[in-house]
Chains A and B, each alone.
Chain A
Amino acid sequence: MVVSADPAARIGRSLQARLLATVLALMGTVWAAVAVSTWVDTQHELNELLDAHLSQAAALLVTQRLDDLEGDDFPPLPQLHKYQARVAIQVWHEGRLVVRSTQAPEAPLAPAQTAGLSQQVVGGQGWRVLTAPGREADVVIHVAELDSARQHILASSLGRAVWPILLALPLLALGVWWAVRGAVQPLRRLGQAVAERRPESLEPLAVSEVPREVAPLVGALNGLFGRMAALLESERRFTADAAHELRTPIAAIRMQAQVAQGADEAPERAQALAATVKGCDRAARVVEQLLQLARLESEASQGEGAMRRGETSADMAAGARGLMAELEPQACARGQKLVLDAGEAVAVMMPAGLAQVLLRNLIDNALRYSPDGAVVRVSVRRRPDERGGCLVVEDTGAGLAPDELARLGERFFRVVGSGQHGSGLGWSIVRRLARLFKLDVMVDRSDTLGGLRVTVTWLDEGQS
């Protein structure tokens, strides 16, 4: 489990936290927008309504004759409602305050020349003022309302609507959290199922049990499991085969040595000892080939880059010439004939040592699997199209049946009845080299010699 130390980063990587934050932010924004627009709307409607009330009140006053209102000792207008305190009325005649309501200030609520609705500040308070001319000349009527009163009405009516929403937000967050948690539960279960697996259990996960969105991930995992199982299987087969290839010569060496120990007569002992030596040679060859294969595999796993850094060019023709001189005695011993068909140098882009390994495996195989007295011909030429080189190793041996051709390159595949102790590792090495250096290997029946023909072709660098 990787646990990030940075909590912000952890939240950023948690689907659940991200979904929760996004949903809540969106909801909050929408609610805020609704609240603002409601506020504006309500304020507008409220102003219209209350302004209408103001003008009604003003209209009533306008219809009054001044004499009815005027008096040296007119009583302040009685207070009939608690909200009335917020409403003020002033009647001015010739610049003199004639009538005012109880709460109305002494100062004029608005300049005399104002007409209609206006916004004024009198005595440190904001007023909404309707100014109308009276019935008689020089009479001005102000009907006003405290702004704070209006704001109070607005706030209390909207506040009632906003509070439940603010309270609901945490509940909603809880609900969203629960829903999202439920939605990511299959992922959690999947993770647990994978975590609890034993390393060797590679059977696929059930796709039917996961949501559609997770199915591609499960599919990919199953694909990976499949490839790993195949890899493990091939490794296990290789181990079993390698064990066989090593155990058999060792068993033979041991058995022959014991035969020599128990032999009563000198010829029997000599024969057993000779067989012991032969077994040692064979075991050494298998070990050498296994090491070659292991080296190639480790180089391949280091990537082609590492392989190519040490890249040099080798002359295949010279390599074949040198190797055939070396193998000549071995071929001679079985009456076999080695023929080389090579002219000028033919370059191949691989280290000379590995080119040697390739040649040795091909020519050695041909000699081993051909009968005594067979002819093995090796030709190294430029390709007819001059874009690369071509190596052909062919023999007069029995060749291979189609199903045997198909099995070539399987590690430890041997040709039944060849009577020779090859481990079949040679082919694996050839195939491995071909893959590493982009060589093209083809196996078929030789037109001219009738036996097996192996054709290796390659392109010069820069050709493709």
Chain B
Amino acid sequence: MRILLAEDDELLGSGLKAGLAQQGFHVDWVRDGVAAERELLAGDHQAVVLDLGLPRQDGMVSLRAARARGVLTPVLVLTARDAVAARIEGLDAGADDYLVKPVDLHELAARLRALVRRAHGQTQTQLEAGDVRLDPVAHEVWHRGLPVELSGREYDLLHAFMLNAGRVLSRDQLEQHLYPWGSEVASNAVEVHIYNLRRKLRADLIETVRGVGYVLRANRSSP
């Protein structure tokens, strides 16, 4: 899952990035409010961790601007401003969650997962598509009740497909889900991972839509 982190503090930012990476997130880190707004508008991330006291532009301003432009990405505000008025202002400005520093890494990760889940209309912790089941907390996947060993990328790809079940995803979109900035992406990387998923799970789980991309059909399960 790809997360945008907007935090100007070097020490906290590097800690958040490393900690969230341990929890299985891919983190892109920006250090000021203008960059945060730009990335929010680009919409490449499944969720955003936003500090408010950012240089160049307050995080609240970035958030309002993004929401005004119709950005629906779930945003978790992580700030030192603990006044009730500030919390209300943050939530009303379009934040989906509001945490006051300092925060527990595991709680932050859990809240991010919950935000992403809700953003995709899911209320169950585990995602299901036919006979395939995915647990975002444990990072585990089952097929017909049996655990399946997936690589990190394969898991991320499957997670993206299951969150967007029934929706066609282009190769560009999938790459954005998979790779943080600065990663070297081989031109056929996505195809390779999809091939592996079909092989490890089910051949017809992910369909190719010619010229557009790929889609996971949740309702078609093999007998």
**Interface of A toward B, CB cutoff 8 Å:** 240, 243-256, 258-259, 262-263, 268, 271-272, 275, 278-279, 282, 414, 416-417, 419, 421
A-B residue pairs in contact (CB < 8 Å), sample of 22: A240-B81, A243-B80, A244-B53, A244-B79, A244-B80, A247-B80, A247-B101, A248-B101, A249-B9, A249-B12, A251-B12, A251-B101, A255-B12, A255-B16, A255-B102, A258-B105, A263-B22, A271-B18, A272-B15, A275-B15, A421-B10, A421-B11
**Interface of B toward A, CB cutoff 8 Å:** 9-12, 14-16, 18-19, 22, 32, 53, 55-56, 79-83, 100-106
Are B9's CB and A252's CB within 8 A? yes
Are A259's CB and B9's CB within 8 A? no
Are B11's CB and A259's CB within 8 A? no
CB neighbours (8 Å) of B55 from chain A are 414, 416-417
CB distance from B141 to the nearest CB of A (A): 21
Cα A414 to Cα B50 in complex, Å, equals 20
Cα A278 to Cα B105 in complex, Å, equals 19
CB distance from B29 to the nearest CB of A (A): 13
Contacting residue for B104 out of A247, A258, A268, A414, CB 8 A: A258
Cα A251 to Cα B12 in complex, Å, equals 7
Are B104's CB and A250's CB within 8 A? no
The closest CB in chain B to the CB of A244 belongs to B80
Cα A175 to Cα B82 in complex, Å, equals 61
Are B81's CB and A282's CB within 8 A? no
Contacting residue for A262 out of B11, B22, B79, CB 8 A: B22
CB distance from B30 to the nearest CB of A (A): 13
Q: A240-B81, A240-B83 are in contact. Are A259 and B12 (CB under 8 A)?
A: no
CB distance from B168 to the nearest CB of A (A): 36
The closest CB in chain B to the CB of A248 belongs to B9
Are B15's CB and A243's CB within 8 A? no
Our count of residue pairs bridging A and B at CB distance below 8 angstroms stands at 84
Are A416's CB and B32's CB within 8 A? yes
CB neighbours (8 Å) of A416 from chain B are 32, 55-56
Interface centre among B55, B79, B80, B103 (most CB of A within 10 A): B80
CB neighbours (8 Å) of B19 from chain A are 255, 258-259, 262
CB distance from A173 to the nearest CB of B (A): 57
Q: Given contacts A259-B105, A275-B15, could you give 17 more A-B pairs where the C-beta distance is less than 8 Å?
A: A240-B81, A243-B80, A247-B101, A248-B80, A249-B12, A250-B101, A252-B12, A254-B103, A254-B104, A255-B19, A255-B102, A256-B14, A258-B104, A258-B105, A259-B15, A262-B22, A263-B22
Main secondary structure of the interface of A (DSSP, over half): helix
Interface centre among A249, A255, A272, A282 (most CB of B within 10 A): A255
CB neighbours (8 Å) of B22 from chain A are 259, 262-263
CB distance from B82 to the nearest CB of A (A): 6
CB neighbours (8 Å) of A245 from chain B are 80
Are A272's CB and B10's CB within 8 A? no
Cα A421 to Cα B7 in complex, Å, equals 13
Cα A246 to Cα B53 in complex, Å, equals 13
The closest CB in chain A to the CB of B81 belongs to A240
Cα A245 to Cα B8 in complex, Å, equals 12
The closest CB in chain B to the CB of A249 belongs to B11
Cα A379 to Cα B182 in complex, Å, equals 46
The closest CB in chain A to the CB of B56 belongs to A416
The closest CB in chain A to the CB of B106 belongs to A258
Cα A250 to Cα B11 in complex, Å, equals 10
Cα A250 to Cα B80 in complex, Å, equals 10
Contacting residue for B15 out of A240, A244, A252, A417, CB 8 A: A252
Closest 3 CB pairs of A and B: A255-B15, A251-B102, A251-B101
Cα A244 to Cα B102 in complex, Å, equals 10
Q: A421-B9, A421-B10 are in contact. Are A256 and B102 (CB under 8 A)?
A: no
The closest CB in chain A to the CB of B19 belongs to A259
Are B12's CB and A243's CB within 8 A? no
The closest CB in chain A to the CB of B9 belongs to A248
Are A256's CB and B15's CB within 8 A? yes
CB distance from A196 to the nearest CB of B (A): 25
CB neighbours (8 Å) of A246 from chain B are 80
Cα A271 to Cα B14 in complex, Å, equals 10
Are B18's CB and A268's CB within 8 A? yes
